[in-house]
Amino acid sequence: MLRVFALRAVVLGGAIFAILNSAAFAQDKALVARGDYLVNSLLTCGNCHTPKGPPAAVAGKDFSGGLSWDEPPFKVTAPNITPDKETGIGSWTDAQIKTALRKGLKPNGTPVAMVMPSGFYEIMTERDISAVVAYLRTLKPVKNQVPDPVYKMPQGHPIPPGGDKPFKEADLTDKVKKGFYLATIAHCMECHTPFGARGRDFDNKLGAGGAEFPGPWGKSVSRNITSSKAKGLGNWTDAEIKRAITQGISKDGSKLKPPMGFPLYAKMTADDLDAVVAYLRTVPAKE
């Protein structure tokens, strides 16, 4: 009888372990899938961190270091964020990756260049930032050493209004709040807000456009994405705004220029696009 009881206990224990292990695997898989979606759509990480060769990304080098900038504040190349332990982030802990994302600080305490929109990631829910880390862990390690950054002045950590602390999952049940969250982690206002005397003029010109972006495409100027009917999106339909975001086509049918990551935003879900448009409708008009 004792043997039978013990055998049943072992079988039951094994079954419970298998169920729990299966549930954990499913949860991990879902987390990685969420990270994949975020990294390869809203966050547009590959837009900067994947090397480009005319006209497209360099095959097999995804996320191993990408665009370079030589600007008044810095001379820097987007670093390798693959799990390579020598030239990437393979030796970083999860907490160190999260600190770099949210606070713009490397494991040694030095800041990342402020071209990295870390201030816009302060708002990320714990689930989403964990999902990004989980996905980055799955990337193929690529050995590629980029040049060390040169900082010509102290690096800032600009945080957009309302984005100074992580959202809770419950915050995302409201459509406009969700749209604000998504537009923030997509760092829309980083490019669509012009500079003032102390950096991006979030207080007076949030979303007013006017920032210039030189590149292989020539020079593009960010558009006004406020609710202004004269200068912004006030007279655009929802469908026209979505087409601009996902296809790079303006209201009048003209083609918009990079560096906005239209092909990446095209991967956004319909619900997420709806939420972003709902939020943009609420951005105060700026002329």
Among 158, 175, 197, the domain-final residue is: 158
- Tokens 């549930």 correspond to 23
Quote the CA–CA distance of 20 and 172 in Å, as a whole number: 29
Give the total number of structural domains in the chain: 2
Quote the CA–CA distance of 55 and 230 in Å, as a whole number: 35
Q: Which amino acid is at 175?
A: K
Same domain for 139 and 189, yes or no, is no
Starting at the edge strand found earlier in the chain, the sheet holding 68-71 runs: 68-71, 74-77, 150-151
Same domain for 142 and 54, yes or no, is yes
pLDDT of residue 272: 98
Confidence of residue 196 (pLDDT cuts 50, 70, 90): confident
Q: How many CB atoms lie within 10 A of CB 256?
A: 16
Same domain for 238 and 189, yes or no, is yes
Same domain for 154 and 172, yes or no, is no
Confidence of residue 184 (pLDDT cuts 50, 70, 90): very high
pLDDT of residue 1: 58
Quote the CA–CA distance of 278 and 179 in Å, as a whole number: 6
Q: What is the pLDDT of residues 86-126, one digit of tens each?
A: 999 999 999 999 999 999 999 999 999 988 999 999 999 99
Q: What is the pLDDT of residues 198-223, one digit of tens each?
A: 778 999 999 999 988 887 788 899 99
Quote the CA–CA distance of 157 and 264 in Å, as a whole number: 25
Q: In angstroms, what CA-CA distances link 166 with 127, 185, 207, 279?
A: 10, 11, 22, 18
Quote the CA–CA distance of 28 and 242 in Å, as a whole number: 31
CATH code of residue 244: 1.10.760.10
Among 106, 136, 158, the domain-final residue is: 158
Same domain for 284 and 144, yes or no, is no
User: Above 80 in pLDDT, residue 17?
Assistant: no
User: Above 60 in pLDDT, residue 256?
Assistant: yes
Same domain for 68 and 45, yes or no, is yes
User: Above 90 in pLDDT, residue 132?
Assistant: yes
- Tokens 């966050």 correspond to 43
Which range (7-16, 40-49, 169-178, 268-277) has the least confidence?
Answer: 7-16
How many CA atoms, within 13 angstroms, populate the side-chain half-sphere of residue 133? Answer: 20
Same domain for 136 and 247, yes or no, is no
Domain that holds residue 2: 1-158
Q: In angstroms, what CA-CA distances link 24 with 29, 162, 172?
A: 9, 34, 24
Exposure of 234 by Cβ count < 10 A (0-12 exposed, 13-18 middle, 19+ buried)?
middle
Q: What is the CA radius of gyration of the chain?
A: 22
Same domain for 147 and 171, yes or no, is no
Nearest C-alpha neighbor of 141 from the set 62, 78, 54: 62
pLDDT of residue 138: 97
